[in-house]
Amino acid sequence: MADISNTPTEKAAPKARKPRATTKGRAPTDVAAINTDVPLQMGFWPDEVRGVPNAALRGALFSINQERELAKKRQKLATVDGYQIVFKGERYNQRDLDLWEMLLHIGRQQTYGKHIEFIASDLLKALGRPTGGTDYEELKEDISRLMGGVVEITFTDTKETFIGSLIHNAYREETTQRYAIVFDEKMRKLYDAGYTHVNWEQRRKLKGNSLAQWLHGFYATHAAPLRYKVETIRQLCGSTTERLTDFRKALRVSLEKLKGAGAITSWSIDAKSDLVTVRRKASVSQQRHLDNKTAAEASAEFSTGSTGTLSGFDSH
């Protein structure tokens, strides 16, 4: 984890910045002081992980593309069965997911509708980003993008839909670059429907490979990963790679990086069916889930060749 203590840098800050208030006594990864005398917001998770709603990791909401498409009208995105995702705005990618995960991490002990605070330089360091003048401007763009996109996530079992932005609103002090950000209380639905502890250090090791980062989050949501066709994974991650052979090659590289980071124990792609098989060690909570009767049956189906499918998309 990067050192994100409140240590000033001589050349990092914009010229307009003034000395900011001290934050002595703050835990390294708190980024901002949080009132712990109030009820938990999203739930508490350890510092080494990030708690992310499953719905955000099981489809193309955060794609692997560097170039951002602008969805001027509501656009349906690929996702697994159980969800439907519609999006309008400037598309998100893994860089946006890094930021959103960090903001969720900061706010994990705050109540919905209450603001969380952080200093821009602290947040940039926590994300492993430089702290030059342009980096502050890019952070403004990133936060604006998360606020501007309209996300619709429908849970097909309950027929309920979350509609909103991933950041409700924000406030910034220009002289100090201190931010205050609020999450919509209705976002609680995303957590109530299920969320996953994503290993942050493993994700950091995969920096620079967007496909590997997407796969890391995707498979982290699976207690016992189903087999997916290469073409299905290409759609789910939002890849714009035209030739399937090129994507398959990139997928092999990314899966091997996942194995090297300790996120999975093994992987293979069947030459005939083009099904991707991934093995990983389930988390403690996921293992408990697998131990009940329903999960045991699902695990048995997996071992006999059960495959994953897209929601509303042709996966053949």
Burial zone of 74 (CB within 10 Å; 0-12 exposed, 13-18 middle, 19+ buried): exposed
pLDDT given for residue 72 in this prediction: 96
The secondary structure element, H or E, covering residue 116 is strand 115-119
Which residue, 97, 190, 193, 90, is CA-closest to 150? 90
pLDDT given for residue 186 in this prediction: 86
Per run of 10 residues, the mean pLDDT along the chain (length 316 residues) is: 39 40 43 44 81 96 96 97 97 98 88 82 96 96 97 96 95 96 88 94 96 97 92 98 98 97 96 96 57 50 53 45
Fold match, 49-195 / 205-303: no
The residue ranges of every structural domain in the chain are 49-195, 205-303
Count other C-beta atoms under 10 Å from residue 289's C-beta.
17
Residues 86-117 pLDDT 10s: 999 999 999 999 999 999 999 887 766 678 89
- Tell me which of 3.40.50, 3.30.1370, 1.10.3470, 1.25.40 is the CATH number of domain 205-303: 3.30.1370
Taking the C-alpha atoms of residue 229 and residue 237, their distance in angstroms, rounded to an integer, is 13
pTM: 0.80
Q: What are 226's two structure tokens?
A: 């189903």
Q: Are 62 and 214 in contact (CB under 8 A)?
A: yes
Q: Considering just the CA atoms, what is the radius of gyration of the chain in Å?
A: 20
Taking the C-alpha atoms of residue 218 and residue 1, their distance in angstroms, rounded to an integer, is 22
Q: Give residue 310's identity as a one-letter amino acid code.
A: L
Assign domain 49-195 to a CATH class.
Answer: mainly alpha
